[in-house]
Amino acid sequence: MGKGVWVYAEYKNGDMRHVTYEGLGAARKIADEFGEELAAVIIGKNVEALGATLGQYGADKVFVIENDLLEHYTPEGYSKVFADLIKEKEPNIIIFGATAQGKDLSAKVAAKIDAGLATDCTELKIEDGKFVVRRPMYAGKVYADVGFDDDAIKMASIRPNVMQAAEKDESKQAEIEKIAANINEEDIKAKFKEFVEVGGGKIDLTEALIIVSGGRGMKNAENFAILEELADVIGGVVGASRAAVDAGWRPQSDQVGQSGKVVTPNLYIACGISGAIQHLAGMGTSKVIVAINKDPDAPIFNKADYGVVADLFKVVPALTKEFKKILSK
């Protein structure tokens, strides 16, 4: 069995993704129970200064892998240098965020080092001296506790917004270890061309704390304006069901569900969404679910903490009006 608990430090536009802090918070507890070092791994170009801040969030050490060829994320480039580092240092546990990048990278790294990988985990724990993770299965119908071979490198990705993020302590700092990247242009088969921002630069659904989603009951694309207004007032973002996306009312990047994005906000407001199992699989772990639907038999009400059986075109504007009053005080 290797030594050390690692967290992949994912960032975007020069800012650390919140799921990185959640990973450090969960991994700190695991590392302390095992009596091992907690390290973060950051990959990119000119990222040492950003990586150095991770000591304030609990990392004992930060491995910094920098190279001009790593300026932009590519699965071949990042997985090669990460796998090389793992083979050299042989850690015990590696944690990723279950983001688009984290899922992509963790799977490729696991294949390169022949390690077990548990994805989209909602809990990390120690049972009888062994590392165990909990993850949903069968579209969230059941949860499974998954273990690993004792002598194997153990890898897991965690669902964003589920675990407690590490608290910042500016008095702490981590040891920085620079790692030479053994990589050349031939190693990277997918070439980065450009990054196209969708959604006007709004918060990614997977990291949003409040989501207002619309479904088939919205009737057309123009009616999503009332959801946009409510989301703006309460500091949230707008999501959509697959039916709304398939109808062309919202972009695919807004889709919540088994074939879209899995989200775990503090508050999820479902407007005109019936609650098909594919949609519930994507938002069923939200902390508070509010459903607004004029069909009293809609399946969404079985999952909702609060349900409003009424016309959403009357309820949503009324909610927006009341929130404006409350939040202006």
Average pLDDT for 97-123: 96
Q: How far apart are CA 239 and CA 257, in angstroms?
A: 10
Tokens at residue 241, please? 């069901």
Q: Which domains does the chain have, with CATH numbers?
A: 5-187 (3.40.50.620), 199-327 (3.40.50.1220)
Structure confidence at residue 200 (pLDDT): 58
Average pLDDT for 81-108: 96
Structure confidence at residue 314 (pLDDT): 97
Confidence of residue 224 (pLDDT cuts 50, 70, 90): very high
Structure confidence at residue 193 (pLDDT): 85
Average pLDDT for 235-263: 95
Tokens at residue 39, please? 């390290």
Residue 104 has pLDDT above 60, yes or no: yes
Q: How far apart are CA 213 and CA 224, in angstroms?
A: 9
Confidence of residue 299 (pLDDT cuts 50, 70, 90): very high
Average pLDDT for 287-304: 96
Higher-pLDDT residue of 26 and 150 is 26
Q: Token pair 């506790």 is at which residue?
A: 145
To the nearest whole percent, how much of the chain has pLDDT over 90? 88
Structure confidence at residue 151 (pLDDT): 87
Structure confidence at residue 238 (pLDDT): 97
Q: Token pair 């919202």 is at which residue?
A: 250
Confidence of residue 140 (pLDDT cuts 50, 70, 90): confident
Q: Token pair 């807004």 is at which residue?
A: 254
Structure confidence at residue 199 (pLDDT): 58
Confidence of residue 95 (pLDDT cuts 50, 70, 90): very high
Decide if 69 contacts 185 (C-beta within 8 A): yes
Residue 290 has pLDDT above 90, yes or no: yes
Residue 198 has pLDDT above 80, yes or no: no
Q: How far apart are CA 137 and CA 275, in angstroms?
A: 18
Structure confidence at residue 102 (pLDDT): 97
Confidence of residue 1 (pLDDT cuts 50, 70, 90): low
3-state secondary structure the chain: CCCCEEEECCEECCEECHHHHHHHHHHHHHHHHHCCCEEEEEEECCCHHHHHHHHHHCCCEEEEEECHHHCCCCHHHHHHHHHHHHHHHCCCEEEEECCHHHHHHHHHHHHHHCCEEEEEECEEEEECCEEEEEEEECCCCEEEEEECCCCCCEEEEECCCCCCCCCCCCCCCCEEEEEECCCCHHHCCCCCCCCCCCHHHCCCHHHCCEEEEECHHHCCCHHHHHHHHHHHHHCCEEEECHHHHHCCCCCHHHEECCCCECCCCCEEEEECCCCCHHHHHHHCCCCEEEEECCCCCCCHHHHCCEEECCCHHHHHHHHHHHHHHHHCC
